[in-house]
């Protein structure tokens, strides 16, 4: 499938600038392997990059300066894990929902079916702090801001089981959620972020189409650790970025 992403021209001598959380890693590793100029502002590796100001997350002055000084597009990979936090593992009050855009997707027979709007509101509350950070990035960008969709879920729970950091999910059941449920949460999360991008004038960059199978799940060659994609996936995202600079 050919990409329909528009081109956003910049000075080709400038490194690609990507800001965000853990999904930045696979793209940064791909750029390093291919010797492509790339600057990663990975919040997990930058103590003090984000501070709370009256309960609202705020970028540090150092990060603000780097964004202001970058002339080309800025690629955001801020957040991107809310759907996994909510539903990668089974909740003690097992639930499911009908995704309005794909109502024929299967339901978990053991789960309580909740209204989709109720699930959406929870996801919106979980993404609010990341959207606040993205708003700051958008304000500081000298050029176009592009937000990269988080990687699609992987269907095979058995493959994922050994890679789940169980301790990071206190209060959840020690069971990976059904694949269809995880897919629905990913789609709903992407919808929330895509709508924000549309309103904010940010280009939403969907996951590389070749990375998903006919059901929308991540293909095996791109699997990372259940929550993340690998460097091969990162290479394809990097190619998307290069087409936009």
Could you read off the pLDDT of 10-43 as tens digits, one per residue? Answer: 445 689 999 999 999 999 999 999 999 999 999 9
pLDDT digits (tens, 9 = 90+) for 66-93: 999 998 899 999 999 999 999 999 999 9
Rounded to whole angstroms, the Cα distance separating 245 from 239 reads 10
pLDDT of residue 141: 93
Residue 215's CB is within 10 A of a number of other CB atoms, namely 11
The residue to which tokens 């789940």 are assigned: 164
The torsion angle over the Cα atoms of residues 77, 223, 215 and 27, rounded to 10 degrees, is 30
pLDDT of residue 10: 42
The single-letter DSSP state of residue 150 is P
The pTM (predicted TM-score) of the whole model is 0.92
Q: What is the mean pLDDT of residues 240-244?
A: 96
- The pLDDT confidence band at residue 137, using thresholds 50, 70 and 90, is very high
Rounded to whole angstroms, the Cα distance separating 118 from 93 reads 14
- The pLDDT confidence band at residue 169, using thresholds 50, 70 and 90, is confident
Q: Which domains, ranges and CATH numbers included, belong to the chain?
A: 16-79+127-170+187-243 (3.40.50.1110)
Residues 6 or more apart from 95 whose CB is under 8 A from it? 111, 112, 113, 114, 119
């Amino acid at each position: 499938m050919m990409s329909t992403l528009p081109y956003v021209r910049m000075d080709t001598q400038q490194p690609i600038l990507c800001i965000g959380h853990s999904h930045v890693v696979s793209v940064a590793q791909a750029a390093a392997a291919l010797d492509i100029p790339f600057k990663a502002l990975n919040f997990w590796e930058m103590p003090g990059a984000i501070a709370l100001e009256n309960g609202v997350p705020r970028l540090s002055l150092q990060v603000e300066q780097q964004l202001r000084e970058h002339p080309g597009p800025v690629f955001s990979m801020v957040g991107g894990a809310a759907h996994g936090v909510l539903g990668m593992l089974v909740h003690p009050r097992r639930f499911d929902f009908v995704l309005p855009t794909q109502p024929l997707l299967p339901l978990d027979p053991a789960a309580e079916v909740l209204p989709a709007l109720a699930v959406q509101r929870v996801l919106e509350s979980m993404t609010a702090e990341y959207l606040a950070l993205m708003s700051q990035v958008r304000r500081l960008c000298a050029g176009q801001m592009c937000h990269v969709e988080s990687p699609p879920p992987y269907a095979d729970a058995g493959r994922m089981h050994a890679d789940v950091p169980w301790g990071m999910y206190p209060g959840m059941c020690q069971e990976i959620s059904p694949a269809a449920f995880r897919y629905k949460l990913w789609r709903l999360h992407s919808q929330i972020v895509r709508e924000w991008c549309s309103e904010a004038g940010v280009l939403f960059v969907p996951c590389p189409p070749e990375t998903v199978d006919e059901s929308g799940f991540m293909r095996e060659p791109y699997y990372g650790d259940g929550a993340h994609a690998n460097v091969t996936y990162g290479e394809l995202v990097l190619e998307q970025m290069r087409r936009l600079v």
